[in-house]
């Protein structure tokens, strides 16, 4: 075969073919505030500790799906993060709270807070933590709570163990992060 034809054939094999692409836009939105409020977490029965004690409950009280035990109240307080109270003006503002399960999620739709080290030896099985707002509505993991209108008062919640099946004994600790969206 002619060397010129061979080089031409090899070159044609390396020619880029057309490709398809799509263009689009992304909008990034937000705001810059002079200051933000800080949040104080308090167990209403524990003098303001960031841990909420659900106590020791019997596995017999969590025999079937949706059985609950160990309810405890806790609250979040928005407060000034600076020296001046006007740094955190809450008048006329509303807020929602979203919890994320740092120890995982549980429940039929992942709506409850999963236990730390779930499935490990020594950890209770078929148990999760349910969080409810002040009106008793379930606050699902990753979703915003009902709106709180008076931010000069604490944002009140309760937490309790909830069965995802027949509970077995063991430790039942869970961790969540939270964000307060006030506007």
Residues 108-148 pLDDT 10s: 999 999 999 999 999 999 999 999 999 999 999 999 999 99
- DSSP assignment of 65-134 equals TT-EEEEEEEEEEEEESSSSGGGG--TT--EEEEEEETT-EESTTS-EEPPTTTTSTTB-EEEEEEEEET
CATH architecture of the region 36-182: Sandwich (2.60)
pLDDT in tens, 65-85: 999 999 999 999 887 665 544
Domain ranges of the chain: 36-182
What local confidence, expressed as pLDDT, does residue 8 receive?
A: 47
């Amino acid at each position: 075969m002619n060397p010129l034809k061979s080089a031409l054939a090899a070159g044609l094999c390396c020619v880029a073919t057309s490709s398809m692409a799509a263009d689009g836009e992304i909008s990034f939105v937000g705001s810059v505030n002079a200051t933000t409020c800080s949040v104080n977490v308090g167990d209403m029965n524990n003098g303001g500790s960031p841990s909420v004690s659900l106590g020791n409950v019997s596995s017999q009280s969590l025999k079937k799906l949706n059985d609950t035990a160990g309810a405890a109240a806790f609250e979040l307080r928005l407060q000034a993060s600076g020296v001046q109270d006007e740094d955190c003006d809450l008048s006329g503002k509303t807020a929602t709270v979203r919890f994320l399960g740092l120890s995982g999620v549980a429940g039929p739709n992942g709506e409850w807070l999963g236990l730390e080290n779930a499935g490990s030896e020594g950890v209770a099985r078929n148990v999760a933590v349910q969080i409810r707002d002040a009106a008793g509505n379930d606050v699902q993991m990753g979703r915003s709570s009902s709106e709180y209108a008076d931010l000069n008062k604490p944002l009140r919640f309760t937490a309790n163990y909830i069965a995802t099946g027949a509970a077995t004994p063991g430790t039942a600790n869970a961790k969540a992060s939270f964000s307060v969206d006030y506007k």
